[in-house]
Amino acid sequence: MKKISLLVLALLLWIIPACDDDDNSTSSSNGTLVVNFDFDGAGDGGATPAISTDPDATKQIYVYLYNTMSLFPYEYYTYDETTGVAVDDAADFVGSITLNNIPAGDYYVLVFYDADYSQKSIARSGDPYMLYHSTDGTYHATASPYVAIKNDAGLVTITKGQTTTIPETGSMIYEVDAAVFGDQGAWDIP
């Protein structure tokens, strides 16, 4: 009986390591996203928000990623990143933000400028923003979550071990509509 038990144990010990992933690929299922943004309308037909004078606002540019979007931008975002630098010159309105270690999958992308302080959330009333829109060849952006959702136009696919850059060329340009979050931080839906 003891021999049978030892045999079973030995078999188990042999099987368990065999279940390990034995291809030499990276074990991480995450990727990287680079978001190029342009809130400076000069020369590209977009709008330019005023540089914030709110002493309590962070004045930084933020990127939020969503699996699904809700009525408010501060709800249900899954990843976020910031420039880490306060915008104090129009030149700071143009740049890029890199999000590392993002699980592979599809995301909606929000970029906003924290111009107005709120104690409830960073993304809030008065902040200029834009959502990624892959099929808008001019601005690569929209103010409406409905436009981003329709036909998955706003989805970005993050692939394991790869870096995705949006847009592929140029930048997300702050639209002529000059969208800012509304009351309670609601989307500025045209």
For residue 120, give Cα distances in angstroms to 18, 25, 184, 185: 50, 43, 9, 10
DSSP class of residue 180 equals B
Nearer to other proteins, 11 or 189 (CB): 189
| Closest distance of CB 186 from other proteins, Å | 5
Q: Using CB under 8 A, which of 149, 155, 178, 180 touches other proteins?
A: 149
In a 10 Å sphere around its CB, with 0-12 CB exposed, 13-18 middle and 19+ buried, how is residue 156 labelled? buried
Q: Using CB under 8 A, which of 63, 69, 102, 179 touches other proteins?
A: 69
For other proteins, the binding residues in 92-131 under the rule CB under 8 A are none
Nearer to other proteins, 75 or 88 (CB): 75
Look-up: residue for tokens 């590209």? Answer: 44
Which of 67-75, 86-94, 111-119, 162-170 is the region at the interface with other proteins (rule: CB under 8 A)?
A: 67-75
Q: How far apart are the first and last CA of the chain?
A: 77
Q: Using CB under 8 A, which of 8, 135, 150, 162 touches other proteins?
A: 150
Total length of the chain: 190
| Closest distance of CB 159 from other proteins, Å | 27
Grouping H, G, I as helix, E, B as strand and the rest as coil, residue 9 is: helix
- Applying CB under 8 A, which residues contact other proteins? 69-71, 145-146, 149-150, 182-184, 186, 189
